[in-house]
């Protein structure tokens, strides 16, 4: 079934994308929750017109995301976490919400759902790690940070 997404849906697509999904997923979840509409000929024409009108604004958003990307690449963050007696393993873990808090304390307001820890769900040892941060649909940055003992 072809649908038009009204909001970003994880592992499905971004807002205003025309995607094909299974019928049950669309009719039982996406459409009732207001995340998507059925892609009829009329709704496709409306989508194309909206995308044309928004194209100029989109380029400005991409430029802002690129400037934020360069600022992020120069940023050095060290997240302090409690460690157990061996000095390496963490007492708990560091996840994307803690990374979002560290970024917000440095002036970057990034939602935790746009931060993905590369290869892991959460960090359980001290050391250097990389996260992928999506700033815009077309702009993402690999951000390096370090977890140190508190």
Does 1.10.1200.10 match the CATH number of domain 67-149?
Answer: no
Q: Which two tokens stand for residue 3?
A: 């649908």
Q: What are the residue ranges spanned by the domains of the chain? A: 2-66, 67-149
pLDDT on residue 50: 87
Our measurement of the distance from residue 4's CA atom to the centroid of its chain's CA atoms, rounded to an integer in Å, reads: 20
Q: Is 27 left (phi over 0), alpha (psi -120 to 50) or beta?
A: alpha
pLDDT of amino acid 136? 86
Whether the model clears a pTM of 0.95, i.e. scores above it, the answer is: no
**Rounded CA gap, 49 and 25, in Å?**
27
**Could you tell me which residues come within 8 angstroms of residue 123 by beta carbon, excluding any fewer than 6 positions away?**
90, 93, 94, 95, 117, 129, 147
The answer to whether residue 119 scores a pLDDT higher than 90 is no
Per-residue model confidence (pLDDT) at position 52: 86
Q: Tens digit of pLDDT for each residue in 12-49?
A: 888 888 999 999 999 999 999 999 999 999 999 999 99
Instruction: Give the residue-averaged pLDDT of 59-84.
Output: 91
Could you tell me which CATH number the domain at 2-66 has?
Answer: 3.40.5.10
The pLDDT of residue 138 is 85
The percentage of the chain sitting over the pLDDT mark of 70, rounded to a whole number, equals 100
């Amino acid at each position: 079934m072809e649908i038009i997404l009204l909001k970003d849906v994880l592992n499905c697509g971004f807002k205003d994308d025309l995607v094909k999904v299974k019928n049950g997923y669309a009719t039982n979840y996406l459409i009732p929750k207001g995340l998507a509409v059925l892609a009829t000929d009329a709704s496709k024409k409306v989508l194309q017109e909206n995308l044309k009108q928004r194209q100029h604004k989109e380029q400005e958003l991409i430029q802002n995301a690129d400037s934020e990307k360069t600022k992020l690449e120069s940023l050095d963050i060290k997240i302090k976490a409690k460690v157990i007696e061996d000095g390496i393993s963490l007492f708990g873990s560091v996840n994307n919400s803690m990374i979002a808090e560290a970024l917000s304390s440095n002036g970057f307001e990034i939602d935790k759902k746009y931060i993905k820890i590369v290869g892991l769900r959460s960090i359980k040892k001290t050391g250097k790690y990389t996260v992928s941060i999506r700033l815009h649909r077309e702009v993402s940055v690999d951000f390096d940070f370090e977890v140190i003992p508190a």
